[in-house]
Amino acid sequence: MKILVTGRAIAHQPDRCTGQQLQQGFIQAGHECVFYGSVYGQPINFLGVEKTLNTDFDLVVVTECNDGMSGYQPLFNHHKLKDVPLVFWDFDISYHPEVSMQRATSYNPDGYLVANRFFLGDSGFGRTGKPVLFLPYACSPQIHRRMPEVRKETLVGFIGSLTAERKELFKKIDIKHVDGAYGDDLIVETNKLYCMLHKNQDACRGLIPGRPLESAGCGTPLLMDSASYEDFIDIISPKYHNCLLVYDDEDDIKDFVSEWDNKNMKRALVEMGQKLMAYVHTNHTYKNRAETIVAWAKAHSIL
């Protein structure tokens, strides 16, 4: 099968973007796959469209285009893609749901893949009458991995943008925060942590984003707020639930720091991380997701 994946990329390491990781997942699953996308904050250059479309495709998968999908219209309108089935996969749909849904539905895809359960039913993409599948993002073992040359330095930290909610939380607790880490920098910073703090924004209840799976893929266990924990355990075998730590408020985080900041407890975190890494590297990779997409598309006569 020949598949075209579109998406966004970071300028200095485009091969680390979701679209290119999914491309590799399709290739690992035995398909021919081409990635074509834009770099964050830069205009989309379609000079290479004819070269990209030098073959006939069986499926188009759109990823992470919610900030500029209109720029992809020339690609999707190309005569070689006119009758090719298209599915839309987006996990940021929670932040601006109505705008994102309007943008996604304007392309009239043949099906939707969402990482937020709240967008499965009649209040979400279910109302389109098209097939909808809950599909969290994933990790890539060749990228998200334990790096022996990187020493663990910090008990618990957070890697991500400082939203208003997170700023309020970090005013009350003293933990390491890293902003603007992408690509290999993200992997290195994750490897420095014994444990990763994870908190979805309140608007994203029901969302399974990529970061917790990437962290687990690096062998770094998760300290999750209770709402995120309840969402996340549904995609993790009960056998591994004890590798996930949960907190209800900032006092729980302070207690965690005071109780776990010793040699024996840090060793326990490393062991948790190794177990979690082995699990997600088997069950939550982009190869797994590629296989799921193809099977689902066939089951719903998209392919």
Of the segments 46-50, 58-62, 296-300, which one has the largest average pLDDT value?
296-300
Any idea which of 63-67, 81-85, 128-132, 283-287 has the lowest mean pLDDT? 63-67
Q: Measured in whole angstroms, how far is the alpha carbon of residue 261 from the centre of its chain? A: 30
3-state secondary structure 248-295: CCHHHHHHHHHHHCCHHHHHHHHHHHHHHHHHHHHHCEHHHHHHHHHH
Task: Report how far residue 10's alpha carbon sits from residue 149's, in angstroms, rounded to the nearest whole number.
Answer: 25
| CA separation for the pair 250, 185 (Å, rounded) | 27
Q: Which of 92, 75, 94 is nearest to 84 (CA)?
A: 75
Q: What pLDDT shows up at residue 91?
A: 59
For 55-61, what is the mean pLDDT?
A: 91
Phi-psi region of 163 (alpha: psi -120 to 50; beta: other; left: phi over 0): beta
Q: What integer best gives the mean pLDDT of the chain?
A: 87
pLDDT, position 12: 67
**Residue 129: which region, alpha, beta or left (left: phi > 0; alpha: psi -120 to 50)?**
left
pLDDT digits (tens, 9 = 90+) for 183-216: 899 999 999 999 999 877 666 677 788 889 999 9
Residue 57: pLDDT above 80? yes
Q: Which CATH superfamily is domain 154-283 in?
A: Glycogen Phosphorylase B; (3.40.50.2000)
Q: Which of 107-121, 190-204, 288-302 has the highest mean pLDDT?
A: 288-302
Question: Confidence band (pLDDT; 50, 70, 90) for 253?
Answer: very high
d(CA 141, CA 144): 5
Q: What's at 94, amino acid-wise?
A: S
Mean pLDDT is lowest, of 23-32, 84-93, 122-131, 210-219, for 84-93
**Of 14-23, 69-78, 111-120, 157-166, which gets the smallest average pLDDT?**
69-78
Q: Which of 68-82, 97-111, 149-163, 279-293 has the weakest average pLDDT?
A: 68-82
Q: Is the pLDDT confidence value at 291 over 80?
A: yes
pLDDT at residue number 149? 95
Span 282-292, mean pLDDT?
98
Q: Which of 10, 123, 124, 1 is nearest to 61 (CA)?
A: 1
pLDDT at 85 over 80: yes
Specify the pTM. 0.92
Q: Are the CB atoms for 248 and 224 separated by under 8 Å?
A: no
Q: How confident is the model at residue 65 (pLDDT cuts 50, 70, 90)?
A: low
Higher pLDDT residue, 43 or 206? 206
Q: Is 264 exposed, middle or buried (0-12, 13-18, 19+ CB in 10 A)?
A: exposed
| CATH class of the domain defined by 2-137+285-299 | alpha beta
At 36 the pLDDT is 81
pLDDT bracket for residue 98 (50, 70, 90): confident
Domains 2-137+285-299 and 154-283 share a fold: yes
* Domain-wise residue ranges, the chain: 2-137+285-299, 154-283
pLDDT score, position 94 = 59
For residue 177, report the phi and psi dihedrals to the nearest 5 degrees.
-130, 130
